[in-house]
Amino acid sequence: MKIVLYPDPNLLQEAAPVEEFDSELREKVEEMFPLMYEAKGCGLAAPQVAWLLRVFIVNLAGEAGKGEEKAYVNPRIVEKRGTVVAEEGCLSIPGVTGPVRRASWVRIEASDLAGKTFQEESTSELHARVLQHELDHLNGILFVSKVVPSQQKLILKKLREMREGVPAGRA
């Protein structure tokens, strides 16, 4: 398992709901955490490891042994409030960041790895942002498509460079 990078087609597809809460699900989720830490991220969605199921993981501390590790299976946002613009990036689009408008607070409903439904309210703007960003991945949506209009041209240029294999920042 490895993190796939833009323009990998897995990143642009809608992921399928999880139906079996089995050991394979738990094992694959366990494999995702070290990959996320290695890449210095605080959220990682299954399509980012070429696994097209509706699963993502979060640890806001972004470090093994710190914070809380959580897995969200078949998640949906059931309530949201406020808006806030902040700089965002993605482990699958290294070197590219841009300002994205998101709800500042969300309530999410998901299943845990045992198939038990839970609800969670975001505890910070960052937490709300990560939940929304990871949920977008399950629908094949990347943050770059949501960057505020004034920055879109620059983002499109960087993406084109990535597709063409030219390092971002060079001619």
Taking the complex as a whole, how short is the minimal distance between the CB of residue 114 and Co ion, in angstroms? 26
How far is Cα 132 from Cα 1, in angstroms, rounded to an integer? 24
- Contacting residue, 73, 90, 113, 155, with Co ion by CB under 5 A: 90
Q: Is 134 a catalytic residue?
A: yes
Query: Which region among 14-22, 73-81, 87-95, 107-115 touches Co ion (by CB under 5 A)?
Result: 87-95
Taking the complex as a whole, how short is the minimal distance between the CB of residue 145 and Co ion, in angstroms? 12
Residue with tokens 């323009």: 7
How far is Cα 71 from Cα 104, in angstroms, rounded to an integer? 21
Active-site position among 38, 69, 134, 161 = 134
Taking the complex as a whole, how short is the minimal distance between the CB of residue 137 and Co ion, in angstroms? 6
Residues 6+ apart with CB under 8 A from 160: none
How far is Cα 119 from Cα 106, in angstroms, rounded to an integer? 10
Identify the DSSP state of 14: P
Q: How many CB atoms lie within 10 A of CB 5?
A: 14
Going by their DSSP bridges, the two strands 70-81 and 105-111 should be labelled as antiparallel
**Residues β-bridged to residue 110:** 118
Is 130 a binder of Co ion (CB under 5 A)? no
3-state class (DSSP) for residue 149:
helix
Taking the complex as a whole, how short is the minimal distance between the CB of residue 142 and Co ion, in angstroms? 7
Catalytic residues: 134
Name the residues that contact Co ion, by CB under 5 A. Answer: 90
